[in-house]
Structures are given as C-alpha cells and as structure tokens.
C-alpha cells in the first residue's frame, strides 16, 4: 500500500504557460521549469488554475493595475471560475490530498502575497514604463475571489504562496528559497 | 503596443493524465511518469492542462469553455496551438466532446489535433512539432 502523503499544487496558469502573460512579462518560453521541477521532486501533482485575465481581455490585453481589474464584472468572471476550481480541490481533498496554492506574486489577479497598484491608470494608455504598475502587499482580485468561494462554502483556503515573477525586483534564487520554506512548512523535508 | 519577450507562442493542450499519471484519482490506471512533459518543457511549449477526465463534468464545463475561448484568442493573435489528445482515455483525456461543442458554438475551427497514447514518451513532442509544421 502506498503510504506516501498525497500532495497536489494548484499553480497560477502562467507558471505552466508563459504565453498567457501580458506583453513583456514572459520570463521564459513556456513552462517555468524551476517551479514545476521543484514541485514534482517534492511529490506534488500539478493542477493549473485558469488565467482570468486571458479569458477577460485576451492575449493582446493592455497592462492593467489591480484597481482596474477590481470591478464587479471581473469579480463575477473570477468567481464563476472559482466555483469550478473549488469543486476540483474538494475532489482532491476527498481523495486524501493535501492541497496547496501557488500564485503569481506581483500580479493584479494572481498575486497571493504581493499585488499591483496604480490608481491613476485609466483612459488613454500613456506613461507606462518597464515594470508597469507599483506593487503593494496583498492578494490579486482572482486569488481574493477564489478565497471568497472557499469561505462561502465553509472551507478553509488552502495553504498558499506566490512566486514573485511579477515583482519588479524578481530574484529567481530568492523566490525558490522562499518556495522551499513554504514546502518545508508542512513538516516534510524538501528534497 | 505589443513588444517581444521570451514567450514561445506555441501551446500544447494536454490531458491531466499525461501530467499526473500516478495520481490516486486514476485508480487501476495509475502509471509511472514518462518524459513527455519534460520534452515539451525543454522545447519551450507552454502547457494548457485540461481538468482530470475523471472529474465531474459539471465541475469542468466552465474550465473547458474558458480553455476553448483562450485557444480562439491565441490563434487570432498568431500563436500556434496543438491539442494533444490521448486516444485510449475517455474523452481522449481532454474533454474532447465538450471542446468540440464549444468551438461549434463560437463558430471557430479547432486547432490541429494529434492522437497520442496514454504512455506517450518524449517522442510525442516530435508529433506535436510535426503538427505545427503541417
């Protein structure tokens, strides 16, 4: 009988598909392999969250701040997706899985610990410089709606972290060290 | 304006089973991982993973619809998309009937589809590359 703990990581869509990033924010060709290899090495199965920004505004969308995405319509879109995701999480939990969420820190939608801010953006696109909006602590709109859906069903939001690929000072080594800490926090040794 | 970055502009739509063949969700079908996904990663493919084919259909409906919408938008913007279906899994592992119905509803053509086996290895990445070239 297999006594290994069952683990599954629900990861932000773009961590497996950098083509979903808004223009100029792809850091590699396709899959962000340092993350995926680390999760697999530590016994995690992979589930990919949908990217609500892609579904909402598509591949040629403008850069946008959290404030611009924070509308009832976008939140409704996110919540609809969250209902399906929570169904799948419950399926895994019912099968005995420990579930974690790995978001995309710095993103206006998928940030877990860090999101974007630029209250002045709107109307004629101008003045955007490399790196885009500013950053502030907190969740993006998508992660927030996902959390709300768990709460509405009386369920705890799974342990969650983010890879800070959308931070303006992204540091791969630091991000992976933080991920190791996160994976270690459940008391299991990281390989 | 759109500026270039490191993205490959090529995307493989894959079954959950080929990503997580050892999952407890698959019971007697559980199998060891192959090097197929590693090969896609090494060749720069972005991956859109479909929900597990053993999940409840009503839980996956929105996600399938969303995936099809994304595929349509990617193709409109010049990205290459290939559906990597698995011919020995129910729904070809990728919710193929639901996907087809969504494309019909949107009045859009499906992207190239390749048929693989559930134990597909790195060679499967060649099949996807050939589908892009054809």
CA nearest to A83 within chain B: B59
Is-above-0.90 flag for pTM? Answer: yes
Q: Choose among A6, A13, A58: nearest Cβ to B73.
A: A58
- Residue A191: inside a domain, yes or no? no
DSSP line for B77-89: TT-EEEEEEETTS
Beta strands in chain A (DSSP E): 6-11, 44-48, 97-104, 114-117, 134-137, 159-163
Residue B131's pLDDT is 96
Q: How many CA atoms lie within 13 A of A18 on its CB side?
A: 23
Q: Which residue stretches of chain A have pLDDT < 70? A: 1-3, 125-127, 186-191
Residue B65's pLDDT is 98
CA nearest to A6 within chain B: B24
Residue A1's pLDDT is 47
| Contact list, A55 vs chain B (CB under 8 Å) | 66, 69-70
Quote the number of domains for chain A. Answer: 1
Structural domain that includes position A146: 6-118+133-184
Question: What ipTM was predicted for this assembly?
Answer: 0.97
Q: Choose among A27, A51, A87: nearest Cβ to B6.
A: A27
Q: Which residue stretches of chain B have pLDDT < 50? A: none
Q: How far is CA B48 from CA A40, A68, B51, B124, B130, in A?
A: 17, 26, 10, 16, 19
- Residue A112: inside a domain, yes or no? yes
| Contact list, B67 vs chain A (CB under 8 Å) | 50
- Residue A35: inside a domain, yes or no? yes
Q: How many CA atoms lie within 13 A of B99 on its CB side?
A: 25
Residue A126's pLDDT is 66
């Amino acid at each position: 009988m297999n006594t290994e703990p069952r683990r599954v990581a629900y990861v932000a869509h773009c961590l497996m598909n950098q083509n979903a990033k808004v223009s100029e924010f792809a850091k590699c060709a396709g899959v962000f392999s340092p993350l995926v290899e680390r999760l697999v090495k530590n016994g995690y199965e992979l589930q990919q969250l949908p990217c609500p920004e892609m579904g909402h505004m598509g591949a040629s969308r403008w850069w946008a701040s959290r404030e611009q995405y924070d509308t009832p319509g976008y939140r409704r879109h996110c919540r609809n997706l969250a209902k399906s995701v929570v169904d799948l999480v419950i399926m895994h939990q019912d099968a005995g899985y420990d579930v974690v969420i790995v978001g995309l820190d710095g993103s206006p939608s998928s940030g877990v610990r860090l999101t974007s801010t630029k209250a002045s953006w709107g109307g004629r696109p101008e003045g955007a410089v490399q790196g885009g909006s500013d950053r502030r602590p907190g969740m993006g709109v998508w992660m927030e709606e996902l959390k709300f859906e768990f709460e509405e069903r009386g369920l705890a939001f799974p342990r969650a972290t983010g890879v800070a690929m959308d931070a303006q000072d992204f540091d791969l080594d630091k991000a992976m060290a933080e991920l190791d800490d996160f994976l270690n926090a459940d008391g299991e040794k990281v390989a | 304006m759109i500026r270039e970055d490191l993205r490959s502009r090529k995307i493989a739509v894959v079954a959950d089973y080929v990503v997580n063949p050892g999952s407890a969700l698959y019971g007697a079908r559980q199998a060891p991982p192959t090097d197929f996904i590693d090969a896609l990663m090494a060749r720069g493919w972005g991956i859109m993973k479909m929900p597990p084919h053993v999940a409840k259909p009503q839980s996956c409906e929105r996600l399938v619809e969303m995936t099809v919408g994304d595929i349509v938008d990617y193709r409109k913007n010049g990205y290459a998309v290939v559906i990597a279906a698995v011919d020995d899994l129910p729904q070809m592992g990728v919710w193929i009937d639901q996907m087809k119905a969504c494309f019909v509803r949107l009045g859009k053509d499906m992207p190239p589809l390749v048929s693989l086996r559930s134990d597909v290895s790195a060679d499967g990445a060649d099949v996807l590359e050939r589908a892009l070239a054809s």
